[in-house]
Each structure stands twice: as C-alpha cells, then as structure tokens.
Amino acid sequence: MKSAQGDRLISLAGGLPCPSTFPVEELRAAADRVLRKDGSLALQYTNTEGYAPLRAYVAEYFLKPRGIPADPDCVLLTSGSQQALDLLGKTLIDTYARVLLEAPSYLSAIQAFGLYEPTFLSVPATPGGVTPDALEKAFRQRPRMFYTVPTFQNPTGWTWSQENRTAAARLAQKHDVFLIEDDPYSELSYDEAPPPPLASFSDPAGTVITGTFSKILSPGIRMGWIAAPRHLMDPLVRAKQASDLCSNILTQRILFELLAEFDLLKHIERLRKHYRRKRDRMLEWLDKLMPTDCTWTRPRGGMFVWLTLPPGLSGTRLLRATQAYGVVFAPGRSFYAHGERDDTIRLNFTHSSDSDMADGLRVLAREIQRMPVDI
C-alpha cells in the first residue's frame, strides 16, 4: 500500500480502484442530507451488527439476485472486507487449526488468518479453479476451513468453472470443511458473467460469503459485509464488539442515503466499461513488450494480471530492480502462505493512468530482459 501512495512512483502494486470513478458529488450530497436531518444519531455509538437498512440492502441487492439465502439478520457489516477476514479468523481459528488456501491466495487473507496461528495447507489454483481431485486430497488432511476467491481471483485473475464449484460444494459438505468465499470482484466482470457464487449452492450452514463496497464505490469509507449462517452470527458479533464495538455509523448512513437515490447498476456498468478498457490496454502492452518466455493470465474481470517470469528469475529481485526506476508491483511470493514460489508477479490495471501503465510496463520488460538468471 505504501508503494502505491508515494509521490513520484508508478504503482502497479495495490488493488486500488480508479479515483475518477468515485461518486464524489453524490456522496457529498448524501453526507449533507444525513447530517442535516439525522446528525445526532449519525454521530452516536450504534449497534455492532450495522445499520439495519444497509444490512437489508446487502441482502436484497447482493445476495438475493445471486441465489444466496438472504436474511438481513445474517448480514454483518464490517470495516471493509478485511475486517470480515479478521473476524472469521478470530471466530474459527484456534491455535493449530488447519486452514486450506489456494496457492497462490490473497496476501491479506494470509496475514489476517496468520495472526491466529493456524497451520496453513494449500491446494494448487488453476485457470479453472481448484480441481475436485486436488481438493479431495487436500480435504483429507482435515482442514477446519477452506478460503477461496473463486471469481476473478486475487492475485491470478482466474475464475472457477461451474463444474469445479459444484464439486467443491459437494466435497466441503462431505468432509465437513467450512467454506469461506471471498467475493470482492464479481461485479467487475468484463466479458461473460461469472458462474453463480459457491454460496448459492453449497451447504448454507457451512458457508460464509464476504463482499465489499470498496471496489464498486469507495474503499475510503471502509464498508464490507459477511453473510454467515445463523449459528455463526453470535460469535462473529462478539468478535466484532471486542474489535471495535461498532462500525462507523456516519459513513454507514451516508452510504445508505447514497444508495437510496443512486443507480448502482448503471454505475457498475460504467466501471466495467472503464476497467475493461484498462484491462485490454494492459494486455496489449504486455503482448507488445514482454519477452516471449514470460506468460500471463488474461482475466475476464477483477483488477489483476498474474505474470510468470522467465525460468530462473525472481519476482522479489525484479522489484528491487524496477523500484530504482520508480516502478513497483506486488511480487508473487507473498501470495503463498509459505513463500514457496518466487517466479511470479501481480500487476494491477485499474489504478494507474494509461501513460503510467505503459511507462511502468516498459521499465518492467526492460528489467526482466536485463536480469541475470538465478541458477
């Protein structure tokens, strides 16, 4: 995150949305209305679960249309979906519990869960998701839970096929493994729509799905959510109470005030168009600039391209080289729980301007070609 904030830096590192897409004026007007009509309540302590109308909105617009059992009482609003991961770690991970991750998996999930000291197991991610064979083998090691980003995954951009989703749901129930489906990107789909979420057909008592307003509206307001089975709500709410008592009610109310008058679907259409063009731009530049022994993913949504370096090159060392020219990205190593591979890097295409993106990729391509191979 720090790299992505510096002054004279070209950053392909973070997962930052493009600030030109934020509905600034609409949020300003919403803030104005909330503080004029309901200021005292919007500035007081509130309940831990979150603002009831906003929980109902999440159920109505994010769960129901996608076939997920939609009870507002089972929605917990969180400080971004990062807090959702932390609360799940707090609630589900005892010391030495086994947590199964895709390899690679989302860096900040590894960090969030890691603080509760589980034993991490991993199962290889593939372009179509985790295969049933690999998953069953991994489930036989008796993980307590399986964390996955099945749609436009961070970091790879890959999306699980319908077949792999169906198999995973069946296997999780068979082996009694808790499914955690992290779903921040499914609205950001640039070609055909992704398959339905795992949570729409897996065992409801053994599945959690998390989402966020960060990627479609604004990350600065820190508003994410968990939809959990009823039996998990009490422990999650207790964990949140111990973590921060309650979420920021001022921004909960501003967000709800915005949503009441805002055409979110139309906004998401605009985002798709904007990011589709950026994704295409990045893929064009990569085709043009990268040496032939590099390979990379061609994501149908989300925010990232995952690039595999020529044999023998290290993403960590490459970062040191490009950093000297003010260009940063996320080395792939940190997306593995045990840092087991260092030959990949993650590139973000949503945040930088076209010219920064091109300049950054030029430096990257040059440094890849310059770098001595590690034998």
Dihedrals φ, ψ of 373, to 5°? Answer: -75, 135
* Residue at token pair 């799940």: 88
Beta bridge mates, 307? 296, 345
Site string for a second copy, 29-48 (x = CB under 8 A): --xx--xx--xxxxxxxxxx
Note whether 119 binds a second copy by CB under 8 A: no
Note whether 65 binds a second copy by CB under 8 A: no
> Which 238-257 residues touch a second copy, going by CB under 8 A?
238-239, 241-251
Q: Report the DSSP pairing between strands 98-103 and 119-124.
A: parallel
> Which 66-95 residues touch a second copy, going by CB under 8 A?
79-80, 82-83, 86, 90, 95
Smallest gap from residue 203 Cβ to a second copy (A): 27
Eight-state DSSP code of residue 39: H
Note whether 19 binds a second copy by CB under 8 A: yes
Note whether 292 binds a second copy by CB under 8 A: no
Which member of 58, 179, 216, 221 binds a second copy (CB under 8 A)? 221
Distance spanning both ends of the chain, measured CA to CA: 31
Note whether 2 binds a second copy by CB under 8 A: yes
Number of residues in contact with a second copy, rule: CB under 8 A? 59
Report d(CA 168, CA 178) in Å as an integer: 11
Give CA angle at 159 (303, 98), nearest 5°.
100
Report d(CA 309, CA 85) in Å as an integer: 30
The structure tokens listed for 142 are 């008796």
Note whether 216 binds a second copy by CB under 8 A: no
Report d(CA 244, CA 259) in Å as an integer: 25
Smallest gap from residue 355 Cβ to a second copy (A): 18
**By C-beta, is 122 or 252 nearer to a second copy?**
252
Note whether 7 binds a second copy by CB under 8 A: no
Report d(CA 372, CA 375) in Å as an integer: 9
User: How buried is 173 (Cβ within 10 angstroms: 0-12 exposed, 13-18 middle, 19+ buried)?
Assistant: middle
Smallest gap from residue 17 Cβ to a second copy (A): 8
Contact segment (CB under 8 A) with a second copy among 23-31, 186-194, 200-208, 282-290 equals 23-31
Report d(CA 202, CA 360) in Å as an integer: 42
Note whether 22 binds a second copy by CB under 8 A: yes
Residues that bind a second copy (CB under 8 A): 1-2, 4-5, 14, 16-17, 19-20, 22, 24-25, 27-28, 31-32, 35-36, 39-48, 79-80, 82-83, 86, 90, 95, 108, 111-112, 114-115, 214, 218-222, 238-239, 241-251
